[in-house]
Amino acid sequence: MFACPATDDFFRSRIDHMIDLRHPLAVLASRMPWQEIEARVAQVFSRKGRAGVAMPDLDLFGEQVQRTVVPSNAGRPRVPLRIMIALLYLKHAFNESDEGVVERWADTPRWQFFSGCAYYEDRQPCDATTLIKFRQLLGEEGVEELLAQTINVAVELKLIKPQELTRVIVDSTVQHKAIAHPTDSRLLETARVKLVETAKEVGIDLKQTFAKEGKELGRKAGRYAHARQFKRMRRAIKRQRTIVGRLQREIERKASAIAVAVRQALGETLDKAARIVAQSAQRKAQGGQPKLYAWHAPEVDCISKGKARQPYEFGVKVGIASTLQGNLIVGARAFHGNPYDGHTLNEQLEQATILMQDSVAKPATAFVDLGYRGVDADNPDVHIVHRGKAKRISEQERKLLRRRQAIEPIIGHLKSDHRMDRCHLKGEQGDRLHAVLCAAGYNIRWLLRMIVKKGVTFLRSVFLCLQQASVLGRSWVAAAIAWVIRAAKTGSSEGAAPRTQGRRHALGPIAA
């Protein structure tokens, strides 16, 4: 459970002497399978062969020692893997940004204990940008492994029964992207600025940049829209569209005289500007091509969920799967392209099956809303229950269907407490990673609450024996011997402490 220094530092106190080991985060630190998580994730960071670089020779005992002295370009030592994994857990469990989690880690001994540190470190564990690179290296499979381990811990600590994993609730929500509201006026002004910047980078001299007029037109369009003077607003947007078109055509004419590589770099910028000009002229998309709602995030979709307060949401659709009883999340996946809810059910259940494979369980019954109708043939191994089948389901399933709404507050907590309300990660991969990490952060907080509520099973029996010994006037040694004898007779996990791999455990919360 602790880092193992060669000798104890006489001048510093260990963290386990500074904090209350009965705190749920300290108990969870001793129960997380850190060695297994590191072993499954470490393969992503293994050394890979590069062109023109010789790999070390292998013999019976592993890599041979390189005798030749060569200059090292390795840089600073790598941050321990457990610290990086713990930072991702803590970031989404306590709703912190990349910068905030590393700053708070330096001030919180309990977080350092969760990360495997033996002594208090009054410094940041790494730079905030290191978390960005670590997430990208993990990929979708790596973050799904982090989510799967939270499910395994819940089952191993008997905080949820394995049979509860077979009944799941599936629903979808929208994960908003960190973009401004996509009005035509704002997009056209962004296109003008990007065209001018790109032309300046490649060395193209423009006759006019329309900087002053462009800003003024953007302000006018906003004021006219607020005053509901839509004819004047459309006149201002038309002028903005004209300006962007003039800049685009001028750059295309002058780009023919420059290098081919530079013209290719200009291609993406010119294509985006042309899309914005075309979509602002008509309300419908041109040629079946989806609209562009953000210059830096072309993957953003416009999703309508039928809400009166917010009819349109800009982001990506995310499917969430949770247990029917217990409210533990067993699956989270982002679906780009705004697919029909029913068409996402197969992939959502497949992900939940993969995440629960260590618990030897898989979804057998799915409770959904009416958005998932008509997909029974695509999911033959799963019994789908919704209120459209009221006359075909049993009375027990009709009662259980009332708990389908339990996933709505789970989605609310994901957005308000675990950062799913706004995704700042880049691209489609960032959307997928963010959705899974938000679910992992929710499960960490779920584990902390359940440890407080139920305690740890074997510690509860120890406490009862010690309490009985104090009443009868016996010593704690006699009580411990009696507890061991009782555990040997019963042979159950209630009376015996679980096996450890050479790591001592912290005392959990006392629950009578």
* CATH domain 155-179+300-453 topology: Nucleotidyltransferase; domain 5 (3.30.420)
Q: Please tell me the least confidently modeled range out of 128-132, 266-270, 454-458.
A: 454-458
Q: How many CB atoms lie within 10 A of CB 471?
A: 8
**pLDDT tens digits along 161-191:** 999 999 999 999 999 999 999 999 999 999 9
If pLDDT is split at 50, 70 and 90, which confidence band does 57 have?
A: low
- For residues 109-122, average pLDDT: 93
Could you tell me which residue, 156 or 458, shows the higher pLDDT? 156
| Extents of the domains making up the chain | 155-179+300-453, 184-281
- For residues 354-360, average pLDDT: 92
Residue 62, pLDDT > 60, answer: no
Residue 12, pLDDT > 60, answer: yes
**Entry pTM:** 0.82
- The residue whose two tokens read 């090292």 is 72
Main-chain dihedrals φ then ψ at residue 28, nearest 5 degrees? -65, -35
DSSP-H helix ranges across 49-125: 81-93, 98-107, 109-114
Q: Choose the most confident range, by mean pLDDT, from 66-75, 299-308, 414-423.
A: 414-423
| CA 27/CA 36 separation, integer angstroms | 18
**pLDDT tens digits along 270-282:** 999 999 999 998 8
Residue type, 71: P
Cβ-in-10-Å burial (0-12, 13-18, 19+) of 290 comes to middle
DSSP-H helix ranges across 282-417: 345-355, 395-400, 407-417
| CA 202/CA 254 separation, integer angstroms | 11
Q: Which of 153, 190, 208, 69 is nearest to 330 (CA)?
A: 153
Could you tell me which residue, 94 or 455, shows the higher pLDDT? 94
- For residues 58-86, average pLDDT: 69
Q: Which of 315, 364, 372, 312 is nearest to 340 (CA)?
A: 372
| CA 302/CA 296 separation, integer angstroms | 15
